[in-house]
Structure 1
Amino acid sequence: MSNATLSAEFRRAVLDEFDLEAHELVTLERACSVLDQIEGLELDVKDRGVIVRGVRGGLYPNPSLKELRAAETSFLAIVRALGLQDADMAPGKGSPSAAARAMNRARWGVRGGKAA
């Protein structure tokens, strides 16, 4: 990805694919905010490492790891609330079925990969 943030790419991809209502746009913006948090936390872990020194010199897990897991869980919950979970996998392989994909498309008014 170039200079665009992950959240900007996500926002663009969702808006290119779906015609969201006003309340759904608010939820999308929340998802993008959480993605920005995730990027910052991942950068902290990359910069400081998984193990960091505490104030008394002891070694501890980077606190950003716990926050990162919480942010990822929050993002996935928001995505589910918007009905955007990945439903493109083949049935019978432990993934969502084609029926789930069809339901998502029906919910969002998608025809042939683009919003109607």
Structure 2
Amino acid sequence: MSNKSWKVAEDEAEKLVGEAQKRANEALERARQDAAELIARAEAEALARAEMIKKKGLLAIEEEVAEVVAKGRKQVDELRAMTEKHIGRAADFIVRMVTSIERSQSRHSREPDGRQG
């Protein structure tokens, strides 16, 4: 090959290398943009999942609290019913005792030996 042919081949090779380098740089830039988009999308999905997990956790806590409150209310209602029942029994006992004392006093006041209560 002559010098001229070498020069033409060299110029052509430089042109091809330059074009290949340009395309490689463009591909690299596209890959960077795609990676940035994928990272942004992954971050958004991770945040959405974290928010969902947080909400599920809060819902579970709310459900547990509601359960405990319901059990507490039931226990209070049972205690109130038992207390009312005991108060009723105590009131009945007091009424019977007062009635018994009144009867006893009225019997003593009417005794034949003339004693008054």
Query: Which category describes the TM-score, using the shorter chain as reference length?
Result: under 0.3
Would you tell me which structure has more strand in proportion to its own residues? 1
Rg larger for: 2
